[in-house]
Structure 1
Amino acid sequence: MTASHQVTRVWYNSAFSSIATVLRLIREADTEGRFHTIYTHAHAHSSAAGAAHAFHVEPTGLAAADYVDWCLAFCREHHVDVFVPSKHAAALSTARGRFLEHGVRVLSAAAPDKLELIDDKAAFYATVKLPLAPPPEFRIFSDIGQFDAAHAELRARHETLCVKPARSVYGLGFSVLDEERSSAALLLAGSSYRIGLADLRRGLAELERFRTMLLMEYLGGHEYSVDCVGADGHLVSAVARKKLPQPGHGQLIDMRADIIASCEQLAADFGLSGMFNVQFREGRDGLRLLEINARASGGIGMACLAGPNLPYLALRAFVDGYEGLALAPVRDGLRVGELGTAVELP
């Protein structure tokens, strides 16, 4: 550590599995010893437990308001300087002022209202204006009547449709509608993420009403995952990965100008900071926006192989400001992949 810098204690609370990679990348880049990382999780045997300098177990079963109170107490007890929340991110973003009273800066991907909007795909699609990559055509439904009306309208313009929940992670609940085969036939054929239209209609009718779902045009082209670092609406760095359809062929770093420009606009429009991920996919009418994830993606390690250490840049941009940051060039065209790594659990 240089004489001009004190150690900054940074806490990451319970997060997705990519947090282990995030913490490892920060420690690899932090050659000056600027940062002391802390990770907490509700499970003592979390696979990311050994990735930070220190690990602690979180309580379980707390409501959001009680969890915020616990986080404040944890920050005081462990002398936290910077808090990067994942669990209950919106509630903790709302409480940023309370943390600042104790000298703790909260790094939120966006303001609470923007986080709520990003999390609700129906509201997000209806709001976002992105000329180079607009959202797919969609309709919302929460009963069989709305589904039938939406299907009749969209099916007249699109050969294949799909459904997904308005709120979901990891693509849970996403299915392509198959108008020829039953769900049983699809299961026996080993077809993933597909559902028989007749079976879906029958199930929806039995449920009467259900959580808000989206019926959308199916985008059959290449998918792009863009790992980004923002600072108060300014796009500091981004690495775009093209997912190749052939098994075992990995992914390709593809810095398409329209994709990077779209990420710049999204960062500005939603005031994004820290690490976030943007998903795009090509369809019949060109590039379409799928979603913003207000966190690092599962492929963050592959993105960082292309040059920029995004988790470290996100932390440095928040603590020191992004002006003057040394940004490694992106190795456009690099082919990347991942291998599983065995770890010893506590």
Structure 2
Amino acid sequence: MRIWFNKTFSTIHAVFRNLRQSVPAGEITLICTHTHAHAAAFLAADESYLEPTELTGQEYLEWCVGFCRQHNIRLFWPGKEAAFISKHHEFFQAIGVQVLSVADVDTLTLLHNKADFYSELSAEVAQTMDFIAVNDRDAFDSAVAELSTRHQRLCVKPAVSVFGLGFRVLDTERDSITQILKGVEYQIPMQELRSGMVNTPEFATLLVMEHLGGPEWSVDCAGRHGELLCAVQRKKSQLAGGGQMIDNNVEIDGMVTRLTAHYRLNGLFNIQFKEGVHGVRLLEINPRPSGGFGMACLSGANLAHIALQGIKGEPFQPPTIRYGLRVTEINTPVVMQELL
């Protein structure tokens, strides 16, 4: 089977590695495309090609269909334009190509905006943190005043963000120079944030939220159209250098199962949780393999292979997961491959 992964995050190499470990040699061919000639994902692919940099939307969709036809693709696993492509499976089905979309276009769009996502989600499916979405300083002040009556510490994060970019804990005691000199990370002086809003009367949606100070879990999952096939919980140590532990939190397991069914999640995806004063809360659903995907598969569950079996409709034996295993990642120097 010829499987194509278009432009996506560099961590896709862990998916490639686990797919190769699980199938006989020659059974699959992994094709990777990217807009950068030195993309790290090229190192793990069987075939690598450059994508045009300027195409989006309909034009990119048409290019993808042409690429599938030209390179005899049988399974397309999209990263770039995943939401748009999920809306147009029929273009690929017409040429005999199966597309792996984590969810339908409406769900993928919803997951992209955490304000909409949290507002839509029923507490019966999963518990989210207490939050208020704001777009100006008056709304920010009102949100801080209201949430402060219920929570000791607050934080902010853009409604649309990846990799935790923009997340900050509101610091009501120290200024920025003190934070810099003391090496404080991921915090922002609240009064300085408010001052910055003076010059920006309206801004993109910002979430003001309760701060969850407990441990964090990253759950790597394989699913089949709402059926959870396998999930591996990684509980992150709160101590620097402490690694992560393969965990089996029953409450998290229940939320992952319900979320998978509720959004009919499919293929490989990641769900993150964090514990606060009032219990474990859902942070986000990432419709893609996580950066720690390779660590999850050290548990004994080859999630990439399980997802592929789900796509092909093959039965599989549930893996024995090594709970309590402590894992980490180390950097390995490599010479980069560059396409000309």
Sort the TM-score into its range (normalised by shorter chain): over 0.9
- Counterpart for residue 324 of structure 2: 333
Question: Displacement of 1:205 after TM fit?
Answer: 2.0
Secondary structure of the residue aligned to 1:129 is: coil
How much is the aligned-residue C-alpha RMSD, in angstroms?
Answer: 1.1
Secondary structure of the residue aligned to 1:292 is: strand
Partners of 2:154 and 2:210 within 8 A in 1: yes
Question: Displacement of 1:260 after TM fit?
Answer: 1.1
Structure 1 stretches of 4+ with a deviation exceeding 3 A read 130-133
Partners of 1:24 and 1:52 within 8 A in 2: no
The count of aligned residue pairs is 337
- Counterpart for residue 4 of structure 1: none
- Counterpart for residue 112 of structure 1: 105
* 1:1-346 superposed matches below 5 A: 8-31=1-24, 33-131=26-124, 133-321=126-314, 324-346=315-337
Question: Displacement of 1:14 after TM fit?
Answer: 0.8
Question: Displacement of 1:184 after TM fit?
Answer: 2.3
Secondary structure of the residue aligned to 1:124 is: helix
Between the aligned residues of both structures, percent identity stands at 45
Question: Displacement of 1:33 after TM fit?
Answer: 3.4
Structure 1: state its 5+ residue gaps.
1-7
Partners of 1:140 and 1:215 within 8 A in 2: yes
Question: Displacement of 1:344 after TM fit?
Answer: 1.8
Instruction: Give the aligned residue type for 2:190.
Output: L
Distance across 1 between alignment mates of 2:27 and 2:4: 14
Say which is worse superposed, 45-54 or 126-135, in terms of deviation: 126-135
Partners of 2:156 and 2:208 within 8 A in 1: yes
Deviations 1:306-330 (A, max 9, x none): 0111112111210234xx2123211
Instruction: Give the aligned residue type for 2:320.
Output: P
Question: Displacement of 1:20 after TM fit?
Answer: 1.0
Say which is worse superposed, 311-320 or 260-269, in terms of deviation: 311-320
Say which is worse superposed, 193-202 or 252-261, in terms of deviation: 252-261
Distance across 2 between alignment mates of 1:130 and 1:233: 18
Instruction: Give the aligned residue type for 1:164.
Output: K
* TM-score normalised according to structure 1 size: 0.95
Secondary structure of the residue aligned to 1:24 is: helix
Secondary structure of the residue aligned to 2:282 is: strand
Structure 2: state its 5+ residue gaps.
none
Question: Displacement of 1:132 after TM fit?
Answer: 7.3
Say which is worse superposed, 288-297 or 32-41, in terms of deviation: 32-41
Deviations 1:49-73 (A, max 9, x none): 1201111111102122211111111
Distance across 1 between alignment mates of 2:124 and 2:260: 15
- Relative to structure 1, the CA distance from residue 225 to residue 104 in structure 2 (aligned partners, 3 Å threshold; closer, same or farther) is same
Secondary structure of the residue aligned to 2:48 is: strand
Instruction: Give the aligned residue type for 1:188.
Output: L
Distance across 1 between alignment mates of 2:144 and 2:181: 26
Distance across 1 between alignment mates of 2:313 and 2:252: 27
Secondary structure of the residue aligned to 1:210 is: coil
Partners of 2:245 and 2:325 within 8 A in 1: yes
Distance across 1 between alignment mates of 2:81 and 2:175: 39
- Counterpart for residue 5 of structure 1: none
Secondary structure of the residue aligned to 1:118 is: helix
Partners of 1:47 and 1:343 within 8 A in 2: no
Deviations 1:143-181 (A, max 9, x none): 111101111100111110000000100000000000001
Distance across 2 between alignment mates of 1:339 and 1:116: 34
